[in-house]
């Protein structure tokens, strides 16, 4: 049994109730289907609707827009339980705590009324299309272009590594509305990629579902836009519909995205530690449990201290974020430090499983493979350190 973590000051009784409910749902409904999801490479639309019925989508969105009326803490406890359940394939965190907040914070009233209630039910599945084949973390260099044509934009370009790419029918696309203005020419355009009959818009194409080292059940895709007609009213520019606000909007929302990554890492590390403790106490070598060897106990004591430290750092950032005081530097550092630590923890735990740790039938193998991308998306950890150093 792992040593108890320090109490998380930000977790309320309501958060705990949700945490218990989400854990029970994940383990009863989705964990038994994990192999099915991995084989399909996607958790389909029916899974999203089931999540919506359970109230697990858009929990921090106001009730006026169909959400749960909670705060980011509700999203966070769900992400932790998702990590403990080893369900990296579900992109609900991105949908609820990244895509929906862009609409809530930067959309017009009509846009909020139009999209958020359907996101809460899972009828609309959200994704954000930032990365391009040649841009990576350098968002100022995006080439996707939205050219004004009357009361529409003609959207052309290519995106890659898009989470929920195969299932999403509501995309926030990072694009240039004025390619001569650099960062000031970036806008966020919301694209409803399907018509009322469920047919894809002319010029829009989902590319292949990318084969990854880990996160096998998560659909991660290439997306292509060729003169896709998008109404001007779909621009995220507040009530005035102003172009060129995209880079500022991205900078305002990215700290929460980075905290989401750190939060999900905590749940996965706690699961890895629990599984490894259980395994080493029942697996025997040389006539005794592996736990009896001093090396095993020392290694897992180190893992336990790392989990305690990481959870304490994340808790401090959660408290700051919920009070509106989490700055970009600390958000970058918690993302970088915790995900670096996550990969170290997974490696140490997998080693104690021996050859079985390399077998996908053991959850530790999937936890290990899933962890590696955490140091890359949301801004690489190298970029996170560069960003934080500018505040020093």
What's the number of CA atoms in the CB half-sphere (13 Å) around residue 237? 16
CB 242, CB 232: distance < 8 Å: no
**What burial letters (b/e) apply to 12-46, b meaning 16+ CB within 10 Å?**
eeebeebbebbbebbeeebeeebeebbebbbbeee
d(C-alpha 329, C-alpha 99), whole Å? 22
CB 310 within 8 A of CB 341: yes
Calculate helix-pair angle for 328-352, 381-389, nearest 10 degrees: 140
Closest among 94, 73, 3, 104 to 317, alpha carbons compared: 73
Q: Which run of H or E residues covers position 224?
A: strand 220-231
Active site residues: 257
State whether the Cα torsion 115-116-121-126 is positive or negative. Answer: positive
Cα(first)–Cα(last) distance of the chain, in Å?
Answer: 40
């Amino acid at each position: 049994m792992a040593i108890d973590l320090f109490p998380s000051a930000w977790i309320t009784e309501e958060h705990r109730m949700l945490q218990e409910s989400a854990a029970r749902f994940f383990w009863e409904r989705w964990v038994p289907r994990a192999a099915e999801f991995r084989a399909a490479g996607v958790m389909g639309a029916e899974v999203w609707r089931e999540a919506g019925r359970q109230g697990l989508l858009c929990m921090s969105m106001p009730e006026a827009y169909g959400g749960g009326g909670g705060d980011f803490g509700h999203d966070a406890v769900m992400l932790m339980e998702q990590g403990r359940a080893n369900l990296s394939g579900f992109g609900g965190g991105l949908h609820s705590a990244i895509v929906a907040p862009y609409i809530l914070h930067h959309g017009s009233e009509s846009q909020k009324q139009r999209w958020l209630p359907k996101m809460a039910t899972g009828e609309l599945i959200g994704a954000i299309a930032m990365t391009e084949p040649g841009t990576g973390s350098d968002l100022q260099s995006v080439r996707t272009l939205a050219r004004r044509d009357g009361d529409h934009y003609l959207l052309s370009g290519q995106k890659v590594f898009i989470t929920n790419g195969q299932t999403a029918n509501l995309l926030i696309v990072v694009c240039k509305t004025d390619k001569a203005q650099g960062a000031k020419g970036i806008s966020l355009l919301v694209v409803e990629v399907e018509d009322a009959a469920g047919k894809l818009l002319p010029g829009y194409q989902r590319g292949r579902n990318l084969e990854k080292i880990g996160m096998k059940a998560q659909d991660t895709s290439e997306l292509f836009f060729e003169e896709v007609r998008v109404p001007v009213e779909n621009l995220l520019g507040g009530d005035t519909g102003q172009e060129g606000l995209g880079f500022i909007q991205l900078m305002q929302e990215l700290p929460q995205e980075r905290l989401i990554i750190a939060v999900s890492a905590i749940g996965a590390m706690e699961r890895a530690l629990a599984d490894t403790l259980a395994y080493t106490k029942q697996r025997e070598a040389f006539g005794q449990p592996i736990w009896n060897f001093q090396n095993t106990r020392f290694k897992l004591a180190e893992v336990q201290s790392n989990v305690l430290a990481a959870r304490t750092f994340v808790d401090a950032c959660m408290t700051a974020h919920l009070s509106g005081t989490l700055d970009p530097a600390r958000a970058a550092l918690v993302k970088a430090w915790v995900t670096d630590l996550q990969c170290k923890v997974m490696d140490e735990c997998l080693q104690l499983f021996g050859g079985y740790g390399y077998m996908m039938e053991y959850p530790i193998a999937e936890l290990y493979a899933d962890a590696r991308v955490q140091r890359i998306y949301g801004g690489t950890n190298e970029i996170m350190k560069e960003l934080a150093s500018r505040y020093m």
